[in-house]
Chain A
């Protein structure tokens, strides 16, 4: 199979370039990550992040033939040749396919991704009814791989100010949690022309999410709550 891979080594290269590889591999039921591991055996200067190799850790997100995805759960047979691999768009490249996610995680931390509850802790857990728990489905499953946020033009143009789909999905995950008491503060924090409202519901995020989550809808629910609060 033919591959074209984005290469950049800050110690040697003035700027990035594409390197071609021809790999003797039977796509069969193999994933793209299998091919990358073989490529690395062929050329050990190639840098890739990976860990769980089953779509749970979110390490091997990259731009595959123009579309963001996880290498470990992308079947090789589904890809058109030459398979073009580039780093996630809009984030600074450390080396080859490895990007600096600092900005992404800064935005994630800015939405206070933890339960805020000032009541004294009960003897047992803080309980939720099954119906209350149900609200968290489709929100908590995010693995923070960065596929959605780096597919979002609003994040490309304002990575320092726009929280991005992934962070906003998590913001709603805590707003929607019956045990959280900081809804008003969370809404205040997002009621700014940049942090949430750079979202123009173009749904690039929904298009690429490897966990099939829907940040656009979560953002819509946050807007609903803000509107409800105003009225």
Chain B
């Protein structure tokens, strides 16, 4: 194989925007949650109550999905800078993606589980 520098994959802007949009969602959720926690009393019952409604469950899942997508872009950015051999980088990508997919399934189970 010839040794060429390959650039030109057109997802730079898309990922940059996605990172910012997911960040904005997370900021809103964080402020919302901080408000909930300030109002709620201590203890299991009150904590459970916060997550009782479908609305909060959905918002929480949206937050977690944004978090996982945001984390993927961040981890890939780190790999771009420090992990050079293709095999190492690809393995890192696969591990991160698989972990985030498992976290996604797990999040649904936590929120809608017992």
Q: Which residues of A contact B42 (CB under 8 A)?
A: none
Interface mask (B11-26 → A, CB under 8 Å = 1, otherwise 0): 1110111000000000
The one of A154, A160, A194, A200 in contact with B12, judged by C-beta atoms closer than 8 angstroms, is A194
Q: Which residues of A contact B11 (CB under 8 A)?
A: 192-193
The 10 lowest CB-CB distance pairs between A and B, nearest first, are A197-B12, A157-B81, A193-B12, A226-B13, A192-B12, A160-B5, A192-B7, A194-B7, A191-B13, A191-B10
A196 to B11, CA, bound (A): 11
Q: Which of B52-104 contact A (CB under 8 A)?
A: 77, 80-82
Q: Which of A129-163 contact B (CB under 8 A)?
A: 153-154, 157-158, 160-161
Q: Within the complex, what minimum Cβ distance (angstroms) separates A190 from chain B? A: 8
* B9 in contact with A193 (CB, 8 Å): yes
28 A–B contacts, CB within 8 A, in A order: A153-B81, A157-B81, A157-B82, A161-B5, A161-B7, A191-B10, A191-B12, A191-B13, A192-B8, A192-B9, A192-B12, A193-B9, A193-B11, A193-B12, A193-B15, A194-B7, A195-B7, A195-B12, A197-B13, A197-B15, A198-B80, A198-B81, A200-B77, A223-B13, A223-B16, A226-B13, A227-B17, A230-B17
A-B contact count (CB 8 A): 46
Q: Within the complex, what minimum Cβ distance (angstroms) separates A213 from chain B? A: 23
Q: Nearest B residue to A231 by beta-carbon distance?
A: B17
Which bracket fits the contact residues of B?
Answer: 10 to 19
B interface: dominant SS: helix
Query: Using a Cβ–Cβ cut-off of 8 Å, how many residues does chain A contribute to the interface with B?
Result: 21
Q: Within the complex, what minimum Cβ distance (angstroms) separates A191 from chain B? A: 5
Q: Which residues of A contact B77 (CB under 8 A)?
A: 200
Q: Which of A146-203 contact B (CB under 8 A)?
A: 153-154, 157-158, 160-161, 188, 190-198, 200
A194 to B80, CA, bound (A): 9
